[in-house]
Amino acid sequence: KAGVTQTPRYLIKTRGQQVTLSCSPISGHRSVSWYQQTPGQGLQFLFEYFSETQRNKGNFPGRFSGRQFSNSRSEMNVSTLELGDSALYLCASSSDQGGGNTIYFGEGSWLTVV
Amino acid sequence: QKEVEQDPGPLSVPEGAIVSLNCTYSNSAFQYFMWYRQYSRKGPELLMYTYSSGNKEDGRFTAQVDKSSKYISLFIRDSQPSDSATYLCAMRGSSNDYKLSFGAGTTVTVRA
């Protein structure tokens, strides 16, 4: 069974640009979450989607947005990039089958803003 | 004060030693507790998953949860150099809450 797949793995963007990251969850998983990981702040929750609806959102500015498609694949977008947006962006998926469900992470997308 | 506190280390132990890691938390709503292992430039890998208080063992790994003290632990027995990684504790509330709150992560080095 394939794991959580994220693309691209590495990218470099310039301040002011926008970026779109993609995530394919584990087959059968309908919940997809996004996290930002930085050395200073650690892993921080961005948002979670289930059946194309955002169910939960973290404390990030509106420049960070996401969406989920009918096949559960998800994208996140960051507009007007700032240097501080340089981070590892992680996608996680879960089967959403009650309390026993577990959350699995992908390898992440490394974003560098210059 | 952070919702989840974890000593970032670093922690260095000789091969074969027991590695002891722990986290404290302040949110009494947390019910599900996880430990992830993250190698350099990789995504977090789920190691242990525990619901509510108690102990759980899986091979060389033992996870303990004490909800009355808001304290969780991970023990790694017979540590190996391949266990060298950053260990992250994570927790969440209800079964419908998929937002994980993470500790800062503890960097562990097992010396051969």
**What is the model's pLDDT at position A23?**
98
**Is some CB atom of chain A closer than 8 A to the CB atom of B45?**
yes
Q: Is the pLDDT of residue A18 over 90?
A: yes
Q: Determine, for residues B100 and A58 on separate chains, whether the beta-carbon distance falls below 8 Å.
A: no
Interface test with B, best of A21, A43, A96 (most B CBs within 10 A): A43
Which residues, 6+ apart, have CB-to-CB distance to B96 below 8 Å? Answer: none
DSSP-assigned letters across all residues of A39-97: TTTEEEEEEEEETTEEEEE-S--TTEEEEE-TTS-EEEEE-S--GGG-EEEEEEEE---
Beta bridge partners of A12: A112
**What is the model's pLDDT at position B61?**
97
Interface A-B, measured as beta-carbon pairs within 8 A, has a size of 61
One-letter identity of residue A100: G
As given in the structure block, the two tokens for residue A5 are 């797949």
Residue B102: exposed, middle, or buried by beta-carbon count in 10 A (0-12, 13-18, 19+)? buried
Q: Determine, for residues B32 and A90 on separate chains, whether the beta-carbon distance falls below 8 Å.
A: no
**What is the model's pLDDT at position A1?**
62
Could you tell me the pLDDT band of residue A96, with boundaries at 50, 70 and 90? low
Helices then strands, counting H and E runs in chain B, come out as: 0, 11
**What is the model's pLDDT at position A50?**
92
Could you tell me the pLDDT band of residue A98, with boundaries at 50, 70 and 90? low
Positions of chain B with pLDDT under 50: none
Nearest by CB: A107 against B43, B88, B102:
B43
A window 12-71, beta carbon within 8 A of B: 31, 33, 35, 42-45, 48, 50, 55-56, 58
For residues B88, B107, A35, A108, the Cα torsion angle rounded to the nearest 10 degrees is -120
Q: Is the pLDDT of residue A75 over 60?
A: yes
For residues B45, B47, B52, B55, the Cα torsion angle rounded to the nearest 10 degrees is -170
Please tell me whether residue B67 adopts helix, strand or coil conformation: coil
Instruction: Convert the pLDDT of each residue in A29-49 to its tens digit.
Output: 999 999 999 998 999 999 999
Residues of chain A positioned with their CB less than 8 A from the CB of B94:
99
Mean of all residue pLDDT scores within chain A: 93
Nearest by CB: A42 against B42, B46, B105:
B105
Nearest by CB: B98 against A33, A98, A108:
A33
Inter-residue contact A37 to A43 (CB < 8 Å)? yes
Q: Is the pLDDT of residue A59 over 70?
A: yes
- Of residues B89 and A28, the one with the higher pLDDT is B89
